[in-house]
Amino acid sequence: MAGSFSLRIVSPEGDVLNENVEFVIFPGAMGELGVLPNHAPLIAGLDIGVIRYTFNGTVKQAAIAGGFVEVADNLATVLADTAELGEEIDLKRAVEAKERALKRLAARTNEIDVRRAEYALRRAVARISAVGDKK
């Protein structure tokens, strides 16, 4: 590859990741967004999803639940609402969260907050996806 740049992911709990990477794909609010070294400056909204990043041929993933990314001077900084590295996600808990959200959505009673259940489902699916090969 033609070099590397810094990727920093920060959530309200603190720093989640600070690594040099060769390529990153972000779950942008309007679709996926790829970034390589020397990318033009940008600020973009992020959706619930998986950040995929590559270094030395190894692809790693992190699940996020929205936020923003700023790219400038070979530094991509993600300010995420929540963020977890794929290798740190408890797959069993993520699958259980997905099942709970699906049950709430299937019930559809007046007591169910549908938007909250949909958010929980999307977040659980992103967490499961970020686990990758650990499945």
Digit-coded pLDDT (tens) for 37-83:
999 999 999 999 999 999 888 999 999 999 999 999 999 999 999 99
Shared domain check, 114 and 72: no
Q: Are strands 75-80 and 5-11 parallel, antiparallel or unpaired?
A: parallel
Question: Which alpha helices (DSSP H) does the chain contain, by range?
Answer: 91-107, 114-131
Q: How many CB atoms neighbour CB 51 within 10 A?
A: 28
What percent helix, strand, coil does the chain show, rounded to 5?
A: 30, 45, 20
Shared domain check, 67 and 111: no
Question: Model confidence at 133, in pLDDT bands (50, 70, 90)?
Answer: low
pTM given for the model: 0.89
Shared domain check, 122 and 79: no
Shared domain check, 102 and 64: no
Number of domains observed in the structure of the chain: 2
Tell me if 52 sits within 8 A of 31, measured CB to CB: no
Tell me which residue range forms the domain holding 117: 89-134
Tell me if 51 sits within 8 A of 32, measured CB to CB: no
